[in-house]
Structure 1
Amino acid sequence: MVLEEVGKLLLELEKAELEAPGGGATAQTYTQLLAVYLYQNDLCNAKFLWKRIPANVKSFSTELQQVWLVGQRMWQRDWAAVHTALNVEWSEDISSIMNALKVSVRDRAIHLISEAYSSLTLTTLATMTGLSVSDAQSAAVEKGWIIDGDMVEPKRIDKEQSMPHTNLTEDQLYKLTQFVSFLEN
């Protein structure tokens, strides 16, 4: 997903939650909002959202529970469990968000591995990235990492190469300005 699209979707979903009749939005709205927070790696807002979702909505929406399971595993930094939780069939409402989240989590894991490890096994690399061993080997070769038998020697990835440049949109700048203004008052 494009950063701009996610920002617009987030604003729409937050507005839908705030303006919901009777104070409770639909399960679909909560599910999409939770998925967007996870995609943005905004685990604090995801956790607060989960706390304010009415209990009856939580109990009757299995997909919402599944998205929250992903969030819990992200909070615990259990990357193997995150990938397991992400590998389910998602509805049309959130499949694009969850697929983008899967790619984002994998990219972050690869970047962290390049920063933190001087060597690791292919199996560990596969577990941390949610890839099969052969796909993990291919990803390592693609990154220019050295593979010696079952061991992988990662090279540091330039931040510019791994993380795309993100320009703040006007909506994001407005939201940030409002937040800073709120904190100052």
Structure 2
Amino acid sequence: MDFSRLSEALASKSYAKIAEICDDLMLQVAAEGVAFQDEWPYAVHLLGHIYDDDINSARFLWKSIPAAIKESQPEVVAAWKVGQKLWMRDYRGVYEAIRGFDWSQETQNVVAAFSELYTKKMFQLLQSAYSTISVQDTALFLGMSEDHATNYVLQQGWFEDPASQMLNVKKQPIAAEQKLDPGKLQRLTEYVFHLEH
């Protein structure tokens, strides 16, 4: 089985391509009728879907993995544990699942990249949802110690009120709305009308 495209994606840190490459390879191998269960990189495949924030595809892949593989490859189970925590929106649990396993050399970089991406996503979520938030909650969402989380958000321009242990969120500037030129709207309307008739 030729995993060269997958190896290239991993080497170039193109983690967003992993799931698609694995899906394509799996379909190709299945179409050829080749048995591939023992040598398939299930952990990498699962992590590819998780990295892409495609938990549904990760769930379906997990369900299709033979029980013997799940029992013999603890890294596959560890990858799915991250997916489960995401599915359940257990923010702290995602980080615990990531840190709770000694990942192989092949998956370490994918997991580290996902962890960084997930932290940024959680930070953006906090930034859009809160005007003030406790240090404890911030640490929970970012999967960090309270000191580390405080330092992280202070570097992003947030402010801390030490007396109340609350963080004041620095909101992103709202982009000005682009005004639509009435002439463009008229041309678009005429074009659509022309297509319909």
Q: TM-score band, normalised by the shorter chain?
A: 0.7 to 0.9
What amino acid sits opposite 2:146 in the alignment?
Answer: V
Highest RCO, 1 vs 2 (Cα 8 Å, sep ≥ 6): 1
Question: In 1, distance between residues paired with 2:136 and 2:155?
Answer: 17
Q: 1:110–1:159: structure 2 CA closer, same or farther, 3 Å change rule? A: farther
Unmatched segments (≥5 aa) in structure 2: 1-9, 176-197
Q: Are 1:5 and 2:14 matched, yes or no?
A: yes
Q: How far is the alpha carbon of 1:22 from its aligned partner?
A: 4.6
Write out aligned runs for 1:42-53 (5 A): 42-53=54-65
Q: 1:68–1:135: structure 2 CA closer, same or farther, 3 Å change rule? A: same
Q: Percentage identity across aligned positions?
A: 26
What amino acid sits opposite 2:147 in the alignment?
Answer: S
**Corresponding pairs, count:** 160
Q: Is the 8 A contact 2:16 2:51 kept in 1?
A: no
Could you tell me which of 14, 17, 37 is aligned with 2:26?
Answer: 17
Which contiguous aligned blocks of 4+ residues in structure 1 show a shift greater than 4 angstroms?
Answer: 1-4, 20-24
Partner of 2:76: 64
Partner of 1:152: 167
Could you tell me which of 94, 114, 132 is aligned with 2:107?
Answer: 94
Could you tell me which of 41, 44, 48 is aligned with 1:29?
Answer: 41
Could you tell me which of 120, 142, 149 is aligned with 1:107?
Answer: 120
TM-score (norm 1): 0.77
Q: Which has the larger radius of gyration?
A: 2
Q: Is the 8 A contact 1:58 1:64 kept in 2?
A: yes
Question: In 2, distance between residues paired with 1:138 and 1:145?
Answer: 9
Q: Is the 8 A contact 1:24 1:54 kept in 2?
A: no
TM-score (norm 2): 0.73
- What SS does the aligned partner of 1:155 have? coil
Question: In 1, distance between residues paired with 2:174 and 2:56?
Answer: 24
Q: How far is the alpha carbon of 1:9 from its aligned partner?
A: 3.2
Q: 1:37–1:60: structure 2 CA closer, same or farther, 3 Å change rule? A: same
- What SS does the aligned partner of 2:104 have? coil
Cα deviation digits, residues 49-108 of structure 1 (max 9, x gap): 111111111121111001101000001111011111111321011111100110011111
Q: Is the 8 A contact 1:120 1:152 kept in 2?
A: yes
Question: In 2, distance between residues paired with 1:35 and 1:89?
Answer: 15
Q: Are 1:80 and 2:109 matched, yes or no?
A: no
